[in-house]
Amino acid sequence: MLLNRRHFLRAASGFGGLALGDLLAAESTPFSPRLPHFPATARSVIFLFMPGGPSQIDLFDHKPELRKWHGRPLPASVTKDLKLAFIKPNANAVASPRTFARHGESGAEISDLLPHTARRADDLCIVRGLHTDAFNHDPGELLLMTGSMQPGRPSMGAWVSYGLGSESRNLPGFVVLSSGSGPSAGSNDWSNGFLPSAFQGTPLRGTGDPILYLSNPDGFTSEMQRARLDVIRRMNEKRRRETGDAEIDARIASYELAFRMQMAAPELLDLSAEPKYLLDQYGVHHEPTHQYGLHCLLARRMVERGVRFIMVSHGSWDDHNDIDKNLEKNCRITDPPAAALVGDLKQRGLLDSTLVIWGGEFGRTPLTQQQRSDIGYGRDHHPNCYSMWMAGGGIRAGETVGKTDELGLEAVEDRVHLHDLQATILHTLGFDHTRLTFQNSGRNFRLTDVGGKAVSKLLKKGLA
């Protein structure tokens, strides 16, 4: 478990128990910034979460060999151990109808569905050898976001907020922005689990009141709100002294943060100072990119204001039918804003300290799923191999790491389990994932459960 400043000062020799320590302890909250285990390359994370399972076969992992088998089953010798959610291993293979090309000096192969992302190829690290233990959405999302297929564990953003605190005094350390159909596991994806409730993700809306129930009712002034909070705070502090319950500290801090957010959140949403050309790049005020573009732009503005972890979710990519049509729709929505975000962060000098991640809970099969004869084919869930991309925050740029077999069934080189991905994310933030723990029910828990290893090939400086 990490030490906050209060614990550090008490443990340090000399002035730990003196007036300076008391002064800093008095201002310490669950959100106070804390130091990681070693120097970090990233200070913030933006996770562009694509729930539903984007098809790597049609976006990032070109498989021309599939054309030889298009419309007929693959050899039983290569599919005999394949476990799938809804189809059998003898389903017909289906090659991607998309056009792939190499982009940038890195020569990254990217589909024609992602032309804006392709222009940023030299800023990206494409991870092709990802694999997971789950082949259904709820457990898959939970494993990606919490390290466990069972609900009740803290999410990645909660762990990061717990470990580092927040550099923003007026906004939450962990914010969630969601468009489309939303993730299958819902709020479990940004839950604090057994961590103090201060570390759960705060859903933020792009229009109207940024956070529901945050605004005061008519006739209730800020002065009245401040007076009420002061009374509640004194009552909570008295109760905390009586019980020693740390959760009361989290409640006090949350009330105070909500009060400050009443001014900070509207300012966050005020885009009047953003230049028109940048709004156009993000697709704000244009369809179909407006909502997702706004969320990506707000993510950048939150990083500037010290927010530690931002989940920008857009779903669903669960294309069991009409995959070509549905992929084209989702890519039209997300491709320009995601690319604009990377470019905007880079232009402002923020990409080096901001880790951006794009991806879902698993991928799609190279086999066809035809649920209805009157609509186009789809692809089933595929946990054995899929792709994500990462950028900034100490990640090696212009690289493609990992390789799958020629039919897209298995990861065969530089395989990366989701726990390895989580360990790598925490490493960029300065954490040894085995030491970022919290004691619950008599034992220490961590994001990576009992596995995981940071992946040296993904890191610009490798592992020491």
Question: Residue 33 sits in a domain of what CATH number?
Answer: 3.40.720.10
Determine the Cα–Cα distance for residues 241 and 233; give it in Å rounded to an integer: 12
- pLDDT average, residue stretch 173-185: 93
- Inform me whether the pLDDT recorded for 306 exceeds 70: yes
Q: Kindly state whether residue 5 falls inside one of the protein's structural domains.
A: no
Q: Kindly state whether residue 450 falls inside one of the protein's structural domains.
A: yes
Determine the Cα–Cα distance for residues 277 and 262; give it in Å rounded to an integer: 29
Q: Kindly state whether residue 9 falls inside one of the protein's structural domains.
A: no
The two structure tokens encoding residue 174 = 């962990």
Q: Kindly state whether residue 297 falls inside one of the protein's structural domains.
A: yes
Q: Kindly state whether residue 358 falls inside one of the protein's structural domains.
A: yes
In 3D space, the residue among 308, 455, 402, 367 whose CA is nearest the CA of residue 85 turns out to be 367
- For the stretch 383-397, pLDDT in tens is 999 999 999 999 999
Q: How many domains would you assign to the chain?
A: 1
pTM of the prediction?
A: 0.86
Say how far residue 292 (Cα) sits from the centre of its chain. 15
Q: Kindly state whether residue 249 falls inside one of the protein's structural domains.
A: no
Beta bridge mates, 311: 47, 176
Q: What angle do CA 305, 166, 441 make, to 5 degrees?
A: 150
- Inform me whether the pLDDT recorded for 22 exceeds 90: no
> Which pLDDT band, with edges at 50, 70 and 90, does 261 fall under?
low
What pLDDT score does 258 carry? Answer: 59
Residue 88 has phi, psi (to 5 degrees) of -95, 155
- For the stretch 263-277, pLDDT in tens is 667 788 889 999 999
Q: Kindly state whether residue 288 falls inside one of the protein's structural domains.
A: yes
**List of residues 6+ apart from 289 with CB closer than 8 A:** 282, 283, 332, 333, 334, 336, 337
Task: Return the residue matching tokens 């966050």.
Answer: 268
Q: Kindly state whether residue 134 falls inside one of the protein's structural domains.
A: yes
> Which pLDDT band, with edges at 50, 70 and 90, does 288 fall under?
very high
What pLDDT score does 19 carry? Answer: 36
Q: In this structure, are residues 398 and 122 in contact, taking their beta carbons and an 8 Å threshold? A: yes
In Å, how far are 22, 218, 236, 253, 258 from 27, measured between CA atoms?
9, 32, 16, 10, 17
Q: Which residue has the higher pLDDT, 330 or 182?
A: 330
What pLDDT score does 10 carry? Answer: 36
**List of residues 6+ apart from 39 with CB closer than 8 A:** 430
What pLDDT score does 18 carry? Answer: 32
What pLDDT score does 246 carry? Answer: 66
Q: Residue 298: which domain range?
A: 28-209+280-458
Determine the Cα–Cα distance for residues 110 and 102; give it in Å rounded to an integer: 7
Max Cα distance, the chain (Å): 77
